[in-house]
Amino acid sequence: QEEASEDIFRLAGSDDIELEDTSVWRTCLARLPWLMVTLFGGFIVSVILKHFHAHLSGGETEAGRRTLVLAAFVPTVLAMGGNTAIQSSTLVVRSIAVGLMRGRSLVRILLKEMSVGAVMGSFCGIVITLWVRFLTGEPAEAAHGVILLPFHMGIIVAIALFLAMTFAAVFGAFVPTVLHKMRIDPAVASGPFVTIATDVFGLVLYFIVTVVLVGMFARF
């Protein structure tokens, strides 16, 4: 029970010292390190978002402003990726703690999580495509005068969500598994670290998908 409690606190980016009657200052010292990691990750995300907005903007016209609906789905993509990674890492950390990971190969674990992430990402991608189509309603103008149909924007968000969730599922399982094989407590690098890492990579994937697909749509 003591080991389980310790793992839970580490997954949350804290320490089991908080179970004691500690001072406010000591509690802050236990929580701040991982929060600073998250804050630093937020700085990286803000830089990526700045470039994303500059590339996405179609100008001050009404059609140009409609492309900003793609930016409105950034929090959704990041949240889905983060939750997927936490599910994956929590399952692996718990499996390690109870001894279920002995004898299992890393490749087998990652392939399973990749399949799980892909299936969930496909389902959520279909749902979000329909929602984007409903939300936009009219064509939008992206940078360089590229016209995006509502279906185009739905496809962009769906593919980005699919890739983000698939990556997050694999990454969430990869980190604790590798640390365990290196004889490092996997709970240490799970939780906040996995979440912010999937946020950064998820946003990069979203940006890449947007740039590539907008370029493709411009040719047709």
Q: Are 196 and 38 in contact (CB under 8 A)?
A: yes
150 within some domain = yes
How far apart CA 66 and CA 80 sit, in angstroms, is: 23
Q: Which CATH number fits the domain that encloses residue 120?
A: 1.10.357.20
CB neighbour list of residue 1: distance below 8 Å, 6 or more residues apart:
none
38 within some domain = no
130 within some domain = yes
Predicted TM-score of the model (pTM): 0.80
Task: State which residues form the domain around 201.
Answer: 45-218
Q: How many domains does the chain have?
A: 1
10 within some domain = no
* pLDDT confidence tier of residue 76, bands split at 50, 70 and 90: very high
37 within some domain = no
Cα–Cα distances in angstroms (integers) from residue 200 to residues 64, 75, 96, in the given order: 26, 12, 27
Nearest to 161 by CA among 133, 127, 138, 137: 127
Over residues 156-208, the pLDDT tens digits come to 999 999 999 999 999 999 988 888 888 877 766 566 778 888 999 999 999 89
30 within some domain = no
65 within some domain = yes
20 within some domain = no
CB neighbour list of residue 111: distance below 8 Å, 6 or more residues apart:
none
